[in-house]
Amino acid sequence: MTLNYFFLLSLISFSSLIYSQFQIFYTPPENRGIMTIKAFTNFYDNKSALYVHVGGNTVTAQPPYWIRYFRESNQWNTQPHYSFLNGSVCYNGTGGYNWSMVRDLIKGRRDTVFLLGSWLWITCLPPESGIESRITYNSGMNFSHPATSEGAMSAFDFDPLTDSIIYGIGQKFLLPVKLLKTTNKGLNWTSVVLASSSSNFDYSLKVNPLNRNVIYFGTASAFYRSNDGGNTVLNISNTPSRDIAIHPNDTSLLICNNSGIYKSTNGGYNFTQTLNVNTSKLLIHPELPNVVYAGTVNGIYRSANFGSNWVLYFASFSGSQSVTGLAKYKNDLDTIYASNDKYVYKIWASSIGVIKTSGEIPVSFRLYQNYPNPFNPETRIKFQIPEQGYVRISVFDLLGREVASLVNEKLTPGTYEINWNAEEVPGGVYFCRMMTENFSQTIKLALLK
């Protein structure tokens, strides 16, 4: 197993002159592929971990497993975890699983040894395929499968306030698709029939964070909503859904499928297509809810206005440009993690419109006051450096949280200007800090909205 920390820079064409820096963060063993990634945070101590699902698609590979990276300690735990999602391997071509991948995994926010997962599989001989959901109350030492007698769940989500209430969507073989609900952490389940049997497992489900009685869920042929905690179901659209992103502050939501991304501003009753690219993953920035990332077959797209407009954010994957997973921690600046079939990538935005206005070598470092100030929503910041070196310019709020990374690169001596568009942050007082190896200066900015 190799952990590759070699930094790479990629210049991507953007109308706003944004480019991303990235790092190949994890390389799987030989004969292995990255199936997906997830990020979880411990509710009690706020420790967070990135979970990487490593799969095998040959008969000579071991069963799939999860490994973990802990951000706070910057350490990998490469011992396989969560064997309750693994299948046995078929070295001789009989029995066991020739291929499998985890479709989704959720971990208790408060009960961190409780997990619910679903995985797709193909057996060796006889050749069969299907989906299975499993549940564990002790981190996989013991587990039940299927997780419910109602059938395998392809997608699921917790109630925002308790781990005991879980919603799922799935079906038994050749039986109708159902919305499932438990109020006792999976010991008992109730169900509501949604549609006839389906062989397509592109299901999605999310609980509304503003109203925990509203649940959105979709299949390969329709989009549904429940307004009463899953007791009754409304078929509100014929737009299929692979993933759902719900704005935490209003009635806007996004869904995606193989035709692109669709936005609704009225709780799913009407949708407008905003991106025409095959999309499977949606991820909302935890501190800036108008910022959304989309994993597509062409790389990662980014929106600063909750899906109304999109720009290509990252497409420098080695191998396939198809994104298999997206993850982001809270309080982790502008960094996101993404996976394709070969690697896990750590990606962060760097410069936005940096212009060198003079090549004359200044006599000192200096960060000038922005202009205009106050401003709404754009302002220009000028700075100068007398020697070559790495320059970082960031914007912080009153609580010391970084809200924008404007410069993070090695520059030659000269005078520069940079434009900051603060459309995606609320009005207020902010601090802009310039830092080099031998210099630091901070100015105050006033954003009026």
pLDDT for res 126:
77
- The confidence band for 75, taking pLDDT boundaries of 50, 70 and 90, is confident
Tell me the Ramachandran region of residue 110: left when phi exceeds 0, alpha when psi lies from -120 to 50, beta otherwise: alpha
Average of per-residue pLDDT across 407-412: 79
More confident residue, 59 or 23: 23
Is there a common fold for 7-351 and 353-447?
no
Of 79-93, 371-385, 418-432, highest mean pLDDT: 371-385
pLDDT for res 291:
87
Question: Across the chain, what does the average pLDDT equal?
Answer: 84
pLDDT for res 13:
30
CA–CA separation, 21 and 10 (whole Å): 6
pLDDT for res 7:
30
Closest C-alpha to 191, from 203, 199, 204, 182: 182
Cα distances (Å, whole numbers) of residue 430 to 158, 190, 375, 406: 35, 50, 12, 14
Per-domain residue ranges of the chain: 7-351, 353-447
Q: What share of the chain is helix, strand, coil (3-state, %, to 5)?
A: 0, 50, 45
More confident residue, 50 or 56: 50
Percent of the chain predicted with pLDDT > 90: 42
Check: CB of residue 139 under 8 Å from CB of residue 113: yes
More confident residue, 374 or 120: 374
* CATH number for the domain formed by residue range(s) 7-351: 2.130.10.10
Q: Is the pLDDT of residue 195 over 80?
A: no
Residues 6+ apart with CB under 8 A from 57: 33, 98, 99
pLDDT for res 10:
31
Q: Say which range, 58-67, 340-349, 384-393, has the weakest mean pLDDT.
A: 58-67
| Per-residue model confidence as pLDDT tens digits over 130-141 | 888 999 998 888
- The confidence band for 258, taking pLDDT boundaries of 50, 70 and 90, is very high
- The confidence band for 64, taking pLDDT boundaries of 50, 70 and 90, is low
- The confidence band for 201, taking pLDDT boundaries of 50, 70 and 90, is confident
- The confidence band for 44, taking pLDDT boundaries of 50, 70 and 90, is low
* CATH number for the domain formed by residue range(s) 353-447: 2.60.40.1930
Average of per-residue pLDDT across 295-316: 90
CA–CA separation, 358 and 361 (whole Å): 8
pLDDT for res 377:
86
Match 């009690």 to its residue by tokens.
44
- The confidence band for 51, taking pLDDT boundaries of 50, 70 and 90, is confident
| Per-residue model confidence as pLDDT tens digits over 145-181 | 889 988 889 899 999 999 999 999 988 877 889 999 9
Q: Is the pLDDT of residue 350 over 60?
A: no
Stated pTM of the model: 0.76
pLDDT for res 92:
59
**342-359: b or e for each residue (b if 16 or more CB lie within 10 Å)?**
bbbbbbbbbbbbbeeeee
Q: Is the pLDDT of residue 242 over 60?
A: yes
Q: Is the pLDDT of residue 265 over 60?
A: yes
Closest C-alpha to 351, from 389, 292, 392, 296: 392
